[in-house]
Structure 1
Amino acid sequence: MTFEKLSIDGLLLMKPRIFRDNRGYFFESFRQKDFEDAVGQKVNFVQENESRSSFGVLRGLHLQKGDDSQAKLVRCVRGRIIDIAVDLRKGSSTFGQYEAVELSEDNHFEFFVPRHFAHGYIVLSEEAVFQYKVDNLYAPQSECCISYDDPDIDIAWSELAPYVETFNMSSKDQNGISLKEYIDQN
């Protein structure tokens, strides 16, 4: 496994070493010690989740606030997505900036998103199965959704997903709050 630090401090792209033969492939998707050495801290994942979505589904930008914040280790096990992490750490020099990475069943990459980042993704394949580990349990009272099209974040959706004409979104995701509202509330 190789660990690539991205432009926003704390974000990490994990690239496994894949062993292929005539039967298929094998790779190690997670090793606690190597992971913690790469992120520079202990992370205790307490839950793993999975979702299935169809082409054009946009989920996010989600986070849990305060002490209920969650670090996530995410991957796409079927299909192809563009995954987004937005830095919402107070005092961060990259506050409000985002990083986008492609995760797919072909590249097998995993994306570590630390606590205090908003997270979301858009599905680029006919279907995608998305799995993620979290280090804190779901806390509905701390749930927050930042608007996917907030002009202060300015995610380049048309460049990241050029052939997605209409996003398929939940009403919660369609009605996320602005970055300014988030700042005012926190």
Structure 2
Amino acid sequence: MTVKQSPLKDCFVIEPKVFKDERGSFFESFNQKTFKKNTGLDIEFVQDNQSISQYGTIRGLHFQTGDFAQAKLIRVAKGEVLDVVVDMRPDSITYLKQFSYILTGENNHQLFVPRGFAHGFASLSDDVIFVYKCDNYYDKASESGILFKDETLNIDWKIPKKDQIVSEKDQNLPTLETFLSL
């Protein structure tokens, strides 16, 4: 496993060793001891989630607040996504900075997103299977987010506007400016 620090503090790109032969391939998607050795983080994941999305789907930017904030270990089992994170931690040296990375079922790369980050992704292919581990349980009352098309963040989701599929809930999230003024 190769672990690389992203441009955002505490956010890592993880590249597992993939073993291939005539039967197919194998890789270890998570190992607690190896993760801790390579990141210095002692994370206990308690929940696994999976979503399936079609081309053009944009989900996010989501996060949970307070005692229910979540760190996530993200990967794509099938397809291709543009994964986007924004550091929402006011005390961080990368506060309000963003990072995007292509995750695919072919490259098997993973993204570790620490607590206090907003997260979203855009499906760049059909039939995306998106899976992630969380270090805290979901709590509906702690849900929050930032509008995916926030003008301050100006994220290029790599999906033409006419092809974007966004839930009503995500279309009604606050802008960054509104969120910060709450």
Q: Same fold (TM over 0.5)?
A: yes
Q: How many residues align?
A: 182
Instruction: Tell me by how many angstroms 1:41 deviates.
Output: 2.1
Structure-2 residue corresponding to 1:38: 38
Separation in 2, partners of 1:51, 1:156: 22
**Superposition deviation, residue 32 in structure 1:** 0.4
- Compare 173-182 and 56-65 and name the one that shifted more: 173-182
> What stretches of structure 2 of length at least 5 have no aligned partner?
none
Letter in 1 for 2:98: Y
TM-score in terms of structure 1 length: 0.94
Residues of 1 paired with 2:66 and 2:28: CA distance?
33
Q: 2:165 aligns with which of 162, 165, 168?
A: 168
1:13-24 correspondence runs (5 A): 13-24=13-24
C-alpha distance after superposition, 1:98-144 (max 9, x if no partner): 11011101100110000000000000111200000001101111101
Q: What does residue range 64-75 of structure 1 map to in structure 2 within 5 Å?
A: 64-75=64-75
Segment drifting more, 173-182 vs 46-55: 173-182
Deviation sequence 1:38-73 (CA, Å, 0-9, x none): 222211100001110000000000000112100000
Unaligned runs of 5+ residues in structure 1 are none
Find the residue that maps to 2:163 and give its secondary structure.
coil
Q: What's 1:129 paired with?
A: 129
Could you tell me which residue of structure 1 aligns to residue 176 of structure 2? 179
Letter in 1 for 2:47: Q
Q: Which residue pairs with 2:106 in the alignment?
A: 106
Amino acid of the residue matched to residue 4 of structure 1?
K
Per the alignment, in what secondary structure is the counterpart of residue 102 of structure 1?
A: strand
Conserved? CA contact 2:82–2:102, under 8 Å: yes
Q: In structure 2, what is the Cα distance between the partners aligned to 1:37 and 1:165?
A: 45
Cα distance, 1:86 vs structure 2: 0.5
TM-score normalised according to structure 2 size:
0.96
Between the aligned partners of 2:100 and 2:55, the Cα distance in structure 1 is 18
CA contact (8 A) 1:96 1:179 kept: no
CA RMSD of aligned residues (A): 1.2
Kindly indicate whether the alpha-carbon contact (under 8 Å) linking 1:124 and 1:164 is maintained by their aligned counterparts in 2.
no
Identity %: 40
- Once the two structures are overlaid, the 10-residue window that deviates more, 34-43 or 24-33, is 34-43
Structure 1 position 176, deviation (Å): 1.1
